[in-house]
Amino acid sequence: MLPDTVYLADQVDRPVRPSRLALQNMPLRLHHVLRGRSIIRFFVEPSGKINRCSIVLVQEASPEWTDSVVTQLRSSRYDPARRGGEKVAQWVEQLFVFQNDARE
C-alpha cells in the first residue's frame, strides 16, 4: 500500500537516516570497474523500507556499479523520517560512489 503523502527532506522534522546500508557482496565484475558514481532517487516508507517501485536512476557513470547498488539498495533499511512525532514517507536522492585503485 502506498502512503498518502511522501514528503521532501525540508518538509519533515527529522529526515531519513540510513541505518543499514552496507554495499557488500559486490559481483566480481566490479573488479574491472575503476570508478562508479550513481545518483538514485527513491522513497523510504514509514517502516524504514525502500519502496522498490519508486527507485529511479538519476545519473550513472557505470552500469555495473549501478546494478550492484540497486540490488543492495532493495534490502537496505533506513530510520524513517518523522513529522510531528509520527513516522512518515520521504523522498531521498542519494549519491553512491565507488573508487577502485586497480591494485590486485
> In the CATH hierarchy, which fold is given to the domain comprising 6-16+32-99?
TolA/TonB C-terminal domain (3.30.2420)
The predicted structure's pLDDT at residue 104? 46
Each residue's pLDDT tens digit, 60-90:
988 888 888 888 888 888 999 999 999 999 9
DSSP label at residue 10: G
Domain boundaries defined on the chain: 6-16+32-99
Alpha-carbon span 42 to 94, nearest angstrom: 8
Alpha-helical (H) ranges within 1-101 are 63-73
Kindly report whether the global pTM for this prediction surpasses the value 0.85.
no
